[in-house]
């Protein structure tokens, strides 16, 4: 078992990474159960695969599980399902001192975290992420949100969980595509500032994706340690360091918007294509070597992730994609910061990108890779 602290003063919490942790979650979560009850929010897919394990563990610890089961998919991060969830929590008489458990992927974690942040002006919540993407990224750091017609994650809050409990064995039930999508957020940490970890990813990605427990545990632990350090240094993205975690996301969110925030392009797939585009755009600007951009693209392609507009199923032109970017929540004074790179492990925040040039690059890149 690994325990990774997120050092945020009074809001500090631990990330527990342990194979089989879900089967002993009762012992871990019992102290957070008021009057011997925990409300667990999940989706229909995760409920079928993992809820019986959690229920059995809680029952063994004399804790009653009260489930709220929502539809699966990105569309659940919406006003409608936020209202549905809040009404269900109020009907269960959740109090400010209670803990709501988010059991699922990034959609459930983001939605439950946001609901907890506004319910009775704030109750507690615990993250039990069951997808690779949620385990290495979205469950850590307190970013909570829902999507709107204007864009992704535009309505939300910074609200830290009380605990993050990660059991890599929950990945056994995932379709291979979901695991690959989550892997994009793993390799991101190497591309940000850890070229040695990117090299580890190149050597171990296939084992990780095939379900090797050691490779999965190493990837998860290294990823959450990297994110915990960044979050502790810049919790609310004020110094600029936390913004590095958005590598691939400005391009990726535009691709997701163009495909309708649906299963055509999963979030991690959009991030993968976005990282490849960010490196190729950096090479276009002369910031990094073309060989680095080619290496990133080749690795993403080798593991079966989208690496250009065509493989992301995006047909829109550059101007339309830049139009989506204008709704990005990072816009400030009419300027959109971009995460670019001077090389692998050398990501930086640029605030002088010309959006017309981005549109031209996207058109040229699409033509070159179509």
237 is catalytic: yes
Name the CA radius of gyration of the chain, rounded: 20
Which residue of the set 45, 188, 249, 324 is catalytic?
249
227 is catalytic: yes
Which residue of the set 18, 246, 256, 299 is catalytic?
246
Which residue of the set 267, 280, 299, 324 is catalytic?
267
249 is catalytic: yes
Q: Give Cβ neighbours of residue 98 (< 8 Å, ≥ 6 apart).
A: 34, 39, 123, 124
185 is catalytic: yes
267 is catalytic: yes
β-strand 151-158 against 124-129: which pairing, if any? unpaired
Task: Tell me the C-alpha to C-alpha distance, in Å, between residue 128 and each of 20, 113, 170, 183, 353.
Answer: 12, 12, 10, 18, 38
253 is catalytic: yes
188 is catalytic: no
Which residue of the set 143, 180, 188, 307 is catalytic?
143
Which residue of the set 74, 185, 221, 256 is catalytic?
185
242 is catalytic: yes
34 is catalytic: no
Task: Tell me the C-alpha to C-alpha distance, in Å, between residue 362 and each of 141, 295, 339.
Answer: 31, 19, 16
Q: Quick one: which of 264, 211, 228 has its CA closest to 75? A: 264
143 is catalytic: yes
Which residue of the set 99, 242, 280, 366 is catalytic?
242
Which residue of the set 74, 178, 237, 269 is catalytic?
237
Which residue of the set 81, 99, 180, 253 is catalytic?
253
Number of H helices, E strands in the chain: 13, 11
Whether residue 320 contacts residue 258, with contact meaning beta carbons closer than 8 Å, is answered with yes
The set of catalytic residues is 121, 143, 185, 227, 237, 242, 246, 249, 253, 267
């Amino acid at each position: 078992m690994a325990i990774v602290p997120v050092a945020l003063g009074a809001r500090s919490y631990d990330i527990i990474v342990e194979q089989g942790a879900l089967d002993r979650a009762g012992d871990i979560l019992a102290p957070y159960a008021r009057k011997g009850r925990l409300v667990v929010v999940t989706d229909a897919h995760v409920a079928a695969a993992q809820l019986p394990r959690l229920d059995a563990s809680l029952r063994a610890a004399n804790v009653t599980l009260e489930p709220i089961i929502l539809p699966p998919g990105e569309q659940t991060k919406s006003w409608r399902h936020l209202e549905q969830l809040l009404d269900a929590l109020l009907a269960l008489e959740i109090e400010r001192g209670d803990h709501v458990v988010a059991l699922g992927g990034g959609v459930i974690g983001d939605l439950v975290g946001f609901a907890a942040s506004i319910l009775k002006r704030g109750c507690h919540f615990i993250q039990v992420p069951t997808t690779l993407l949620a385990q290495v990224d979205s469950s850590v750091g307190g970013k909570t949100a829902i999507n709107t017609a204007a864009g992704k994650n535009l309505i939300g809050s910074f609200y830290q969980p009380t605990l993050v409990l990660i059991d890599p064995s929950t990945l056994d039930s995932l379709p291979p595509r979901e695991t690959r999508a989550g892997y994009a957020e793993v390799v991101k940490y190497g591309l940000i500032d850890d070229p040695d970890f990117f090299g580890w990813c190149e050597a171990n990605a296939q084992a990780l994706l095939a379900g090797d427990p050691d490779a999965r545990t190493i990837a998860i632990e290294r990823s959450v340690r990297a994110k915990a350090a960044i979050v502790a240094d810049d919790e609310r993205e004020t110094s600029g360091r936390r913004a590095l975690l958005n590598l691939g996301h400005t391009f990726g969110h535009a691709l997701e918007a163009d495909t309708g925030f649906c299963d055509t392009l999963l979030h991690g797939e959009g991030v993968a294509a976005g990282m490849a585009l960010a490196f190729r755009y950096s090479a276009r600007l002369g910031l990094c070597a073309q060989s680095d951009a080619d290496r990133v693209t080749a690795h993403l392609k080798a593991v079966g992730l989208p690496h250009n507009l065509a493989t992301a199923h995006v047909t829109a032109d550059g101007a339309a994609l830049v139009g989506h970017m204008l709704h990005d929540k990072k816009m400030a004074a009419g300027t959109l910061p971009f995460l670019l790179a001077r090389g692998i492990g050398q990501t930086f925040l640029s605030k002088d990108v010309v959006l017309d040039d981005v549109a031209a690059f996207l058109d040229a890149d699409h033509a070159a890779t179509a």
